[in-house]
Amino acid sequence: MRSWCVITNEITKEKLDFGTPSVFPTVSVIDPELMLTLPRELSIYQGFDALFHGVECYIATCSSPLAKLYCVEAIGLVARWLPNLWRDGSDLEARTNISYAANVLCGFAQSLSATISPHIIGQCMSGLFPGFVHGASLLVTAQAYYSHVISKGYIAEEFETLGKAMGKSASAGCKGTNFLEGLEELMSETGVSGLPMSKFGVQSSDLERIAGISADIGFDFDPYPLSKDEILSILIKSYK
Ligand SMILES: [Fe+2]
């Protein structure tokens, strides 16, 4: 339930999104029972997509107090229930909570805010490599991306709040590092630590192109403006 769409130009290999109130659905059918036979990996990848929708919509410069309420609730539910889904794909309570977080809470959050550079970089990769599952395209750079942004000291308080939403107590060191701990733990608990982008066809020689296209698209709502060199550095650090 959101006012955003994604469209791929298969000729130019661009995967871009656009938003307008006129695409907001009148009715959405979200039935977790229909998702019980979804492959486990896909369920986990898309659970992380919901997590990153919450994180990005929270820290975006266009966010708002109401959007942030939806984001924090969604992030907490994904952190709480995604490991259950990894252990048992037929866990209907887990599927219901993840669906609610992904489709209702994050749908409203995205309609009040916007996703930012991680989605642009991820969609650039999955535009060039159509088999690159959307949630996976966000996962492969997540730790390097958020480590980089938090290390710059930007919006540390916001990341500290998101770390707490993931069930992590206050950071012992730099503020916001509890979010990195929560992310690392959730990735470990759901079997996606070290997910390689090469699994989806990306070669190291593609990274410069991905960084260039992402930088050209631009990041209108990023709290920390990434340069092309920083994007490339994050991609190189992430590459497996
Ligand atoms: Fe997404």
4 pLDDT exceeds 90? no
Can you give the pLDDT at residue 22?
86
CB neighbour list of residue 82: distance below 8 Å, 6 or more residues apart: 44, 47, 48, 51, 94, 98, 186, 189, 190
Averaged pLDDT for residues 130-159: 94
CATH hierarchy code of domain 4-20+37-238: 1.20.1090.10
Minimal CA–CA distance to 98: which of 82, 110, 76? 82
| Centroid of ligand 1 to alpha carbon of 229 (angstroms) | 24
| Centroid of ligand 1 to alpha carbon of 119 (angstroms) | 6
CB neighbour list of residue 100: distance below 8 Å, 6 or more residues apart: 30, 77
| Centroid of ligand 1 to alpha carbon of 23 (angstroms) | 17
CB neighbour list of residue 59: distance below 8 Å, 6 or more residues apart: 116, 155, 158, 159, 162, 223
**Cα angle for residues 181, 2, 188 (degrees, 5° grid):** 20
pLDDT tens digits along 192-228: 999 999 999 999 999 999 999 999 988 889 998 899 9
**153 — pLDDT class (breaks 50, 70, 90):** confident
Ligand 1 (single-atom ion) residues, CB below 5 Å: 49
| Centroid of ligand 1 to alpha carbon of 134 (angstroms) | 7
Minimal CA–CA distance to 127: which of 217, 205, 14, 216? 14
Tokens of 13: 């290999």
| Centroid of ligand 1 to alpha carbon of 46 (angstroms) | 8
| Centroid of ligand 1 to alpha carbon of 34 (angstroms) | 20
Are 202 and 129 in contact by the 8 Å Cβ rule? The answer is: yes
| Centroid of ligand 1 to alpha carbon of 238 (angstroms) | 19
20 pLDDT exceeds 80? yes
How far apart, in whole angstroms, are the C-alpha atoms of residue 159 and residue 146? Answer: 9
